[in-house]
Amino acid sequence: MSVLPTSSAKPLIYLASASPRRSALLAQIGVAHRVAPVCVDEAVAEAEAPEDYVTRLAALKADTLWQSLPEAQRLPVLGSDTTVVVDRSILGKPADESDCVRMLELLSGRTHQVHTAVAIRSAAGSEVRLNVSEVSFRPLSHAEMRAYWRTGEPADKAGGYAIQGRGAIFIKHIAGSYSGIMGLPLFETAELLAAHHISNEISAGISTGVQG
């Protein structure tokens, strides 16, 4: 486990993820945190539904980090997991160019789902929330798919694309949570943090009577 500071503010939580996007989204809502990625087995269980898969992994990541922390260093831990789903099939990270092209062929000209779960683990216990959003792609040519792979962007992205990056040019429409598609649904995250009495910048301002 490596722990990386993300700001000079005293951290309120640990983020059990190496994703810079998730860290940036937490910073966006003013939650001071420290990045502490963990390694867990991300294999899909036999006949496991996509929603069960992402909620299980999000909770596993949060609990794995929590259990590894010395008691004196424990803070609430946030874990998250995202997967792309088409025809009820889970699309993970592409293994190589041909695998990325295969995934993009499945998504081309169609609407698919992005499942993202967020979990919190603290002394009060654990809790998980799920966000499901829909993304519609325009038709893609094979030349585009191969050129996109060569940018390097799809290599570590579920489904082989990034909505916040160059892959945005493929997306015709979304329904749901943009932040959830990126990897951390902020509505559900804020709800979980509030339930565990962890404030963000806005709620902290309200509680201290800060007014504009």
Written as one string, the DSSP assignment of the chain is: ---EE--SSPPSEEE----HHHHHHHHHTT--EEE-------PPPTT--HHHHHHHHHHHHHHHHHHHS-GGG---EEEEEEEEEETTEEE---SSHHHHHHHHHHHTTSEEEEEEEEEEEETTEEEEEEEEEEEEEPP--HHHHHHHHHTSGGGGSGGG--TTTGGGGGEEEEES-HHHHHT--HHHHHHHHHHTT---HHHHHHHTT---
- Choice among 81, 87, 96, 156 that is catalytic: 81
Annotated catalytic, 156? no
Residues with a known catalytic role: 81
